[in-house]
Chains A and B, each alone.
Chain A
């Protein structure tokens, strides 16, 4: 996962509390993505960013917001965590329109109790 780090790696939080996950890259890649991965559902796109302050929704964006104030940082916020948001969250980066695939971070395992 060189060049992309996620924090925290593990978190347990209570229902109704806000939670922010951070993705940091040192590759200066334009595109950043947040996915969640759940058994039986695979990887599902939550939000993505195509530049500073340019973000858009993915297929499972309800209950999540994102921000990108710097090229290197992409934050995912759960405004009021619910048990259905218990999941593994992955950040990914890509250079842009070049079809070279994505590089993933190590993931954050979030448990909402």
Chain B
């Protein structure tokens, strides 16, 4: 049974600060990692992907991966109220049918 653990939150961060979202996973065979953002009442939206150890930056978002520790994180710099959402971590273990395993998500609130 593949497990993905995320702190459910809510995680409250002041506007303009850095939001740090963490995720651990159990399947050492996981090859790629995805972060989805889900606004209330909406469908998940892919915002970041990372495939190798280290950092990957895209605008205000930075994904960090440490496969040895089975840990992946998402940093959001200069947090905006529009970043308030639930963030889902999803490791990918290869093969479309096996596919993604989703964490339950972290509810992030950016306080103006």
Contact = CB atoms under 8 A, between A and B. Distances in A.
Are A and B physically bound partners? yes
Contacts of A101: 34, 36, 46, 49, 90, 92, 100
A99 B103 contact: no
A86 interface: no
Interface in A81-110: 90, 94-97, 99-107
B51 A50 contact: no
A41 B103 CA distance: 9
27 contacts: A30-B96, A31-B97, A31-B99, A33-B99, A42-B88, A42-B103, A42-B104, A42-B105, A43-B44, A45-B99, A48-B99, A90-B44, A94-B96, A95-B96, A96-B96, A97-B96, A99-B31, A99-B51, A101-B34, A101-B49, A101-B90, A101-B92, A102-B99, A104-B45, A106-B42, A106-B43, A107-B43
A48 B94 contact: no
A1 interface: yes
A27 interface: no
Contacts of A79: none
Interface in B79-112: 88, 90, 92, 94-97, 99-100, 102-105
Q: What 5 pairs across the A-B complex have the smallest Cβ distances?
A: A42-B104, A99-B32, A31-B96, A104-B43, A43-B102
Contacts of B102: 42-43
Contacts of B43: 1, 90, 104-107
A100 B49 contact: yes
Query: What is the interface residue range for chain A against chain B?
Result: 20 to 34
Contacts of A103: 46
A8 to B, nearest CB: 15
Interface in B34-59: 34, 36, 42-46, 49, 51
A79 to B, nearest CB: 23
Given A42-B88, A100-B49, A102-B46, 12 more contacts: A1-B43, A31-B96, A42-B103, A50-B97, A56-B97, A90-B43, A95-B96, A97-B95, A99-B51, A101-B34, A101-B36, A105-B43
